[in-house]
Amino acid sequence: MKPKEIMLNIQEIDTTMDDIGDDHIVTSYETPLREDAFVMNDDEKIKAIEGKFRDIMEILGLDLKDDSLKGTPRRVAKMYVKEVFSGLNPENKPQARLFDNKYKYDQMIVEKNITFYSHCEHHFVPIYGKAHVAYFSSGKVIGLSKINRIVQYFSKRPQVQERLTIQIAEEMKKSLKTEDVAVVMDATHLCVSSRGVGDTNSKTGTAHFSGKFKNESIKKEFLNYINSK
């Protein structure tokens, strides 16, 4: 193959990969992780990322001897591992403590307006918004703070909103041993508003309804509640 043909093929690959990112493709329900994802501990990952991010900053032409910048590679590395991507590590998964439904409460239980922050896996820029989660008790109830923690755990990883919605719903079903779960999410994607088309007004909505929430009247009741002031 001639050099010009190779260059054309590389450009075609780059264009295709850009299109995949802009088209917001979801490839799997599970977050794509390598089998050796946790061979390194957190400290080792921070050290490795610090070096790589330093390289990125130097390639961009930034002067890392400047007082404002010299600590940035380590700050970013610690932020990635300990904060914004901490949901990748299963050791950080919240343990959902259940309680007997002693009041025999048989109506839907709703936790709405849960603020979440995540990162688009296509461009590594923020996704932020509100999650609304509901369920019917099958004999057990979960502490309300644990619902927030489940949302935060799955949010703190590179994500696409569709997968995030499903992961939260499936974890709720597993924890509560019920299919009667609903999740609705509204979010702003900075990969849309701060780059690309530059649309600062649009939001993305996703939903998952299972069990009793597939009943139109129950679904409508839930949606009316989360949309009410």
Q: What string of H, E and C letters represents the secondary structure of 66-115?
A: CCCCCCHHHHHHHHHHHHHCHHHCHHHCCCCCEEECCCCCCCCEEEEEEE
Based on the fold, state whether residues 58 and 112 are members of the same structural domain: no
Q: From the centroid of its chain, how far is CA 68?
A: 30
Question: Which residue range(s) make up the domain with 109?
Answer: 97-227
Based on the fold, state whether residues 83 and 102 are members of the same structural domain: no
Residues paired with 137 in a beta bridge:
none
Q: From the centroid of its chain, how far is CA 85?
A: 9
Of 74, 91, 108, which residue is a domain's last? 91
Based on the fold, state whether residues 131 and 85 are members of the same structural domain: no
Here the tokens at position 107 are: 């109506």
How high is the pLDDT of residue 97? 87
Residue 1's alpha-carbon distances to 5, 13, 61, 146, in angstroms, are 6, 16, 35, 57
Of 66, 91, 116, which residue is a domain's last? 91
Residue 143 and residue 117: Cα distance in Å, rounded? 21
Of 60, 91, 122, which residue is a domain's last? 91
CATH number at residue 133: 3.30.1130.10
How high is the pLDDT of residue 203? 84
Contact in structure between 103 and 52 (CB atoms under 8 Å): no
Based on the fold, state whether residues 84 and 101 are members of the same structural domain: no
Based on the fold, state whether residues 36 and 110 are members of the same structural domain: no
CATH number at residue 36: 1.10.286.10
What's the pTM?
0.86
Based on the fold, state whether residues 27 and 61 are members of the same structural domain: yes
How high is the pLDDT of residue 7? 46
Based on the fold, state whether residues 52 and 149 are members of the same structural domain: no
Based on the fold, state whether residues 82 and 112 are members of the same structural domain: no
Residue 47 and residue 149: Cα distance in Å, rounded? 28
Residue 70 and residue 62: Cα distance in Å, rounded? 10
| Helices 161-176 and 144-155, packing angle to 10 deg | 140
Based on the fold, state whether residues 87 and 193 are members of the same structural domain: no
Tell me the pLDDT of the chain (229 aa) as tens digits: 554 554 445 445 454 445 555 555 656 789 999 999 999 999 999 999 999 999 999 999 999 999 999 999 999 999 999 999 999 999 999 998 899 999 899 999 999 999 999 999 999 999 999 999 999 999 999 998 999 999 999 999 999 999 999 999 999 999 999 999 999 999 998 877 656 555 666 788 999 999 999 999 999 999 999 999 8
Based on the fold, state whether residues 82 and 121 are members of the same structural domain: no
Q: Extract the runs of DSSP E, i.e. beta strands, from the chain.
A: 98-100, 109-120, 126-135, 140-142, 158-159, 181-189, 204-209
Q: How many domains does the chain have?
A: 2
> Active-site positions?
120-123, 161, 189, 191
Residue 216 and residue 124: Cα distance in Å, rounded? 37
Based on the fold, state whether residues 211 and 131 are members of the same structural domain: yes
Based on the fold, state whether residues 14 and 77 are members of the same structural domain: yes
Burial class (CB in 10 A: 0-12, 13-18, 19+), 21: middle
